[in-house]
């Protein structure tokens, strides 16, 4: 499973047509916008790893302006997840091939599990998401910009379970 985290001042997602006649599906203020890709080999363990990283990666300054000191959960900020199968692409010449992306039926279940893990281990009202499988328009105001890629295939050996995440 891959997650692209972008530190944002705000973000919103709408189904097309974008923000004119389209319906705004979700929006957040300061926090993290997360694009989530699910591969054919991903399992619930991958979802747990990605959830733990989303909640605990230190992307923000502390009260003394020390960089990279606080996480989204430390600051009680919002998180918006958007499914994006295109994160698992291979280029064949100039044409993208998405055979490594999990099919929509199975990936919808695993994506839902990721959201559930986040909601269980954080304030559920601060977890938002787009419309799974829809053509969406995503608008965001980057903060930094700060963008990180997290890949569960490159997990460290730490085994902290999501239920062990400290959220105040």
Q: What is the DSSP string of 4-53?
A: EEEEEEEEEEEESSTTTTSPEEEEESSEEEEEEE-BTT--HHHHHHHHHH
Q: Is 86 a catalytic residue?
A: yes
Pairing type for strands 127-129 and 78-83 reads parallel
Alpha carbons 56 and 126: distance in angstroms, whole number: 15
Catalytic one among 86, 120, 147, 158? 86
Residues 6+ apart with CB under 8 A from 60: 7, 68, 69, 70, 71, 72, 74, 75, 77
Catalytic positions: 86
């Amino acid at each position: 499973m891959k997650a692209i985290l972008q530190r944002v001042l705000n973000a919103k997602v709408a189904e097309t047509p974008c923000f004119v006649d389209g319906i705004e599906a979700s929006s957040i203020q300061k926090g993290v916008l997360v694009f989530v890709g699910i591969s054919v080999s991903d399992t619930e363990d991958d979802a747990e790893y990605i959830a733990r990283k989303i909640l605990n990666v230190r992307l923000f300054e502390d009260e003394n302006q020390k960089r990279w000191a606080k996480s989204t959960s430390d600051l009680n900020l919002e998180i918006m997840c958007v499914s994006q199968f295109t994160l698992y692409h291979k280029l064949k010449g100039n044409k993208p091939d998405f055979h490594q992306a999990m099919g929509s039926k199975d990936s919808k279940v695993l994506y839902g599990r990721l959201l559930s893990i986040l909601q269980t281990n954080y304030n559920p009202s601060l977890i938002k998401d787009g419309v799974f499988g829809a053509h969406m328009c995503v608008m965001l105001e980057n903060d930094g910009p700060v963008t990180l890629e997290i890949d569960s295939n490159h997990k460290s050996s730490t085994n902290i379970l999501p239920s062990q995440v400290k959220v105040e």
